[in-house]
Structure 1
């Protein structure tokens, strides 16, 4: 498979049923909790609201080979709006064609088109293969931890 056989396309609502199995595999690999209703709602926002970010499919013919999701965020440290590469996943059958590198370039182009100055991403400490891809593409790690608190209505 040459990398010319692949293309990136904006996801639509009609793509969601066939994207879900790809997402399910990604969430299993990353040990993320699977909540399909919440995920579908968030994907719909990403598709409908250009201010929220971008959802791109990696297509091989009409087959989904992977996906990437970029969310638009705001930080004083980054001079205002910046991109967060929230998800990047290439299905195992399509690895080795340089798709992760191309997907990073696609995400960067989407952010540049929005006038953003930075693109951030998360990578698990134990995912050396992905970390190597990101480092070779010019991403640098920060000596700090990402921390999260889930907010719910009962607080």
Structure 2
């Protein structure tokens, strides 16, 4: 098994793993991302990437991934890593790939002086929760996640005077 930084050639496999994750999370039709989206985020033609990925390989085939980006804590004054998605093919689980992907991100944090490695996990995903707890990760139960998208995002983000912005 090998854990390494993703390359552009890994994008199709990463997107397939994202689709597999969506199916696992009972949202098989939710993925709208394309290979072009991943190429632009991970390997932009100009500028700095906004997103990063590591992959797990077994016998030369990508079977797992960790997709992440940088965060910033106003309390610590330094960056951290937000793990957007961690996924290992079900038949490859139990071999230590998930742990090694997380350990790679933890080493990145330690090496760069980042103070946090954070992620979400669905409340019903007991196997993953147990796995994370076995690594001494702690649930942040005192926080409530908020999301704004679709019409609510468009309404709030509409230009002033456009007629679509609702006042509070």
Same fold (TM over 0.5): yes
SS in 1 for 2:137: coil
Q: Identify, as 1 or 2, the structure richer in helix.
A: 1
Hey, which bits of structure 1, 4+ residues long, moved more than 6 A?
A: none
| Alignment equivalent of 1:99, drawn from 97, 111, 114 | 97
Superposed displacement of residue 43, structure 1: 5.0
| TM-score, normalised by the number of residues in structure 2 | 0.77
Q: 1:21 aligns with which of 16, 26, 34?
A: 16
Contact 1:22 1:66 in 2 (8 A): yes
Equivalent in the alignment of 1:60? 58
Residues in 1 aligned to 2:89 and 2:127: alpha-carbon distance in whole angstroms: 14
Who is 2:116 aligned against?
118
Q: Which moves more between the two structures, 80-89 or 144-153? A: 144-153
Structure ID, larger Rg: 2
The alpha-carbon deviation at position 114 of structure 1 amounts to 2.5
Q: TM-score, normalised by structure 1?
A: 0.83
Using a 3 Å threshold, how does the CA distance of structure 1 residues 23 and 29 change in structure 2: closer, same or farther?
Answer: same
Cα distance change, pair 119–78 in 1 and its aligned pair in 2 (3 A): farther
Greater relative CO (CA pairs within 8 A, separation 6+) = 1
Unaligned runs of 5+ residues in structure 1 are 1-5
Compare the two structures and name the one with the higher strand fraction.
1
When the two chains are superposed, the root-mean-square deviation of aligned CA atoms in Å is: 2.2
Q: Is the 2:3–2:55 contact (alpha carbons within 8 Å) kept by the matching residues of 1?
A: yes
